[in-house]
Structure 1
């Protein structure tokens, strides 16, 4: 509770800094502008006999260009900054029969309809010395924009059949639990029993509540807390994007926030480096398990590599398929309001490009039309896993003493590659935060998002550092690394100091003064962050850290961390639904943002719990069971 209260206070203090003024424009002048976003009453419109509700992009112009009105001068002044909204481009959602009753054609495909809507809106703003034309229009005449088809019913049939099997397995398992412990153990270890308990919700709930008390797990218990807090930060960024990417009632609040630097705003533009932690921990755990396997004299063969890839694939793909299936089918059938376009576009992308997600190549093929955009991380992580698996196998066979040297060389090459890739494009060090790019989440259509944010070479340093830190922990974990007070001071500087520099340096130094400095900062932030986190974990594994260690080992985080994958992959669908069901522009302020964030976090973990119990854990156990059976049969043959 203390941790939650402290987090809320910090968020409020940080967010409350986002108050400034738009220089050169008074509040009175700002208020004379037509609203950038406007919603007519959607539900009332849908009750009309001749219902027609339209999303309209209406580009304003002065009625008299030689003597423009004061309102137009204000619009030009406010819109001149790219970090402001375009106030000359109105995004209005109108009920045509009530807002424009004089229109004679109620058919969006008719060119005359577009002209008449433009004339109607021009008449509306004539008193301000403004006119305009419609540049984009999309209409709906029904609450449901898509008819169900065979794909919808196929997905529904698969999900219903699967849920019936899970229900049967759960009920059968519950009945068996009322038997004697000996009989239940016999059942649970039989071939049929292991299959049933793998899909049983009560059995998976028991596993989810269990805690690994082994010395190795206790040593790295802090990792679970870090994993949870990183997940909170990811949801925070996505909540900020989902809110600012939807129609805003008080656009001045967003523009004032963009006019100055604040921690939350800068983090949302630069915070991609936090995902280096997840890439790092994936390969960290991988090399530890492979070194232990080699010490047990178990062979690192092609067969082992293939089995490991299949096991990883099965664990990741089950939940991903469920989310993609929902996005492509029943997600678009929800009773969305005026903002139906966004969910429908996502559904269309998933119908066309679902196969790139299944093959984990979504960052390479059709990347501008990626289905479930946050899945880029899953694709890159799977690519890193396969490469690291092969790389570690080769290095162990060559001699494990060579591992740190080879990894350091590869790390330097990856940093140089990230620098050159960023430099040759001339990108700034932060992702574009222009409201026009964020609105309707159009920023992912820009090359920088893919070249900078989700690139393979840009994120590779985290995986390489994971191999290095995993090697250090495995080889030297039985002895203390930080043995004196001087070592402890050095640890604080290298861990917390490095993380502080990564988060705060752009506030004090202009890292974008040239393409070279921008590229250098981008190339260094992810490896520096991963390095700082890695050193932090090593120190906490030896008892250092004080309150940081306590927070990272706080007992609830251990269980929440087990949901981190399904939280990441599942929470965007809930945010899409929240936006799609909106009926009016959102009025945003600091308190509202905190409330939405807390609601998003709570909903994400509840949804993730269902995904974990129903899909992730069953298929993960299925892969384990398959390979476990194979190993037993091979050992029997040797006998």
Structure 2
């Protein structure tokens, strides 16, 4: 409501009308955001572009019992269920890529040939839950493993270094494997399909190993860095930053009277990044203290009261 009602007064200029498209979408499809289905229904209209991922997270959360419940009865059943999800979330994106000639990413010109995409890559592929759930399933497997082993995993030094090396190489391949495709050397459609089919699962496995290694005492200096106390307050603002930083970027760019030029070697890129980062953290801190933190405090009070009443009733019965 705040975004729709107040946003028109936040800026002006020749580019400001482009921001209005996002606001206009909120007037008609706001209910899809409320129901967390904005990545499935009327996804081409859009309202607050960054909220598509909130819908994905909610949908993954709703589907998670299909994996955790089988795990409760048997680890084998749980692994089978997770395996089915991983298989589906690998086959579907690969098949859609082959059918609709989707590129391996949002950067244009990465795909070889003159065949154009048969759909909108962002709304028809990128934000769909069945193309993204693989990493979430890998995370659930890692969480289940840590729970069942009580965060205890003993491996020798050489195996630990080997796993770190493999995961680092895989993570770099996912991140930089398309660099040539973005610089005048486009890839073929089958390679694009293979990348789209596996990149999120592989990335999820790499992140999962970092978490598992740090939780089980195999993280080394990585665990030391990630456990730095100064990161704790910053980490608590990440959700608010995710919601706010696109709005801050729009406020800066679309209020300009001339085109903003920025290349990879420009100091403008560094200053732009640092400026947006600092302002985003400031805005996130204010938003978190005003809305998120009070709600979390109320939640703790309510749940603690329920726990106390449950203990009291149990004591009276005895």
TM-score by length of 1: 0.44
2:44 aligned to which of 368, 373, 390? 368
**Partners in 2 of 1:391 and 1:621 — Cα distance?**
31
Matched residue, 1:433: 108
Alignment of 1:165-564 (within 5 A): 325-388=1-64, 390-433=65-108, 447-481=120-154, 483-507=155-179, 513-564=187-238
| Displacement of 1:575 | 1.4
**Partners in 2 of 1:552 and 1:605 — Cα distance?**
19
1:349 and 1:604, CA in 2 relative to 1: closer, same or farther beyond 3 A? same
1:603 and 1:407, CA in 2 relative to 1: closer, same or farther beyond 3 A? same
Q: Is the 8 A contact 2:85 2:137 kept in 1?
A: yes
**Partners in 1 of 2:157 and 2:10 — Cα distance?**
60
1:603 and 1:484, CA in 2 relative to 1: closer, same or farther beyond 3 A? same
| Displacement of 1:596 | 0.7
1:392 and 1:634, CA in 2 relative to 1: closer, same or farther beyond 3 A? farther
Deviations 1:94-153 (A, max 9, x none): xxxxxxxxxxxxxxxxxxxxxxxxxxxxxxxxxxxxxxxxxxxxxxxxxxxxxxxxxxxx
| Displacement of 1:415 | 1.0
Matched residue, 1:574: 248
- As a proportion of its length, which structure holds more strand? 1
Q: Is the 8 A contact 2:240 2:288 kept in 1?
A: yes
**Partners in 2 of 1:586 and 1:509 — Cα distance?**
25
**Partners in 2 of 1:629 and 1:391 — Cα distance?**
31
Q: Is the 8 A contact 2:69 2:78 kept in 1?
A: no
More displaced stretch, 623-632 vs 374-383: 623-632
1:504 and 1:585, CA in 2 relative to 1: closer, same or farther beyond 3 A? closer
**Partners in 2 of 1:540 and 1:512 — Cα distance?**
38
SS at match of 1:422: helix
| Displacement of 1:336 | 1.3
| Displacement of 1:461 | 0.4
| Displacement of 1:546 | 4.5
**Partners in 2 of 1:397 and 1:551 — Cα distance?**
34
**Partners in 1 of 2:286 and 2:236 — Cα distance?**
12
The runs of 4+ residues in structure 1 deviating greater than 6 Å are 508-511
- Count of residues paired in the alignment: 302
**Partners in 1 of 2:249 and 2:181 — Cα distance?**
35
**RMSD over aligned Cα, in angstroms?**
2.4
Deviations 1:152-189 (A, max 9, x none): xxxxxxxxxxxxxxxxxxxxxxxxxxxxxxxxxxxxxx
Residue segments in structure 1 that go unaligned for 5+ positions in a row: 1-324, 435-445
**Partners in 2 of 1:506 and 1:338 — Cα distance?**
34
| Displacement of 1:382 | 0.8
1:610 aligned to which of 263, 282, 286? 286
Residue segments in structure 2 that go unaligned for 5+ positions in a row: 110-118
**Partners in 1 of 2:244 and 2:156 — Cα distance?**
45
| Displacement of 1:503 | 2.1
**Partners in 2 of 1:553 and 1:425 — Cα distance?**
44
Q: Is the 8 A contact 2:70 2:78 kept in 1?
A: yes
Alignment of 1:2-151 (within 5 A): none
1:494 and 1:538, CA in 2 relative to 1: closer, same or farther beyond 3 A? farther
| Displacement of 1:420 | 1.5
**Partners in 2 of 1:478 and 1:364 — Cα distance?**
37
Matched, 1:620 2:292: no
1:631 and 1:344, CA in 2 relative to 1: closer, same or farther beyond 3 A? same
**Partners in 1 of 2:89 and 2:254 — Cα distance?**
40
SS at match of 2:178: helix
**Partners in 2 of 1:543 and 1:630 — Cα distance?**
35
Pair member with larger Rg: 1
1:339 and 1:508, CA in 2 relative to 1: closer, same or farther beyond 3 A? closer
Matched residue, 2:258: 584
Q: Is the 8 A contact 1:494 1:535 kept in 2?
A: no
**Partners in 2 of 1:519 and 1:601 — Cα distance?**
34
Deviations 1:483-538 (A, max 9, x none): 21221222222321211222233346899643222111111111001111111222
1:393 and 1:498, CA in 2 relative to 1: closer, same or farther beyond 3 A? closer
| Displacement of 1:620 | 2.6
| Displacement of 1:604 | 0.6
